[in-house]
Amino acid sequence: MRTSIVRIGNSQGIRIPKVLIEQCHLGREVELEVKDDALIIRSASFPRQGWDEKFKSMAAAGDDTLLDGDLDSQSSWDEDEWQW
């Protein structure tokens, strides 16, 4: 598919047909990359996307406990050494 570069203020841009946006599942934000003289446009990734659901499933499975165990019983430093 061929398209033209258009002027947008001091920048330039391209119009991406709706059918291509739908096929690529592009959202409101995209990532751009140049590779071997080619411009690559892909959906923006969100590093923490889906964490809420994962945390909820961990809690439901009882897999959200501290790995360090009970920190209060491991050390009495706060009571013996710390001066308030």
User: How many domains does the chain divide into?
Assistant: 1
Give the per-residue pLDDT at 45: 82
Give the per-residue pLDDT at 71: 63
Find the CATH number of the domain harbouring 11. Answer: 2.10.260
Chunk the chain into consecutive blocks of 10 residues (it has 84) and report each block's average pLDDT, rounded to whole numbers. 92 93 92 95 86 91 78 68 74
Report yes or no on whether pTM surpasses 0.75: no
Give the per-residue pLDDT at 8: 93
Give the per-residue pLDDT at 70: 65
Host domain of residue 23:
5-43
Rounded Cα–Cα distance for residues 21 and 25 (Å): 6
Determine, yes or no, domain membership for 78. Answer: no
Give the per-residue pLDDT at 34: 97
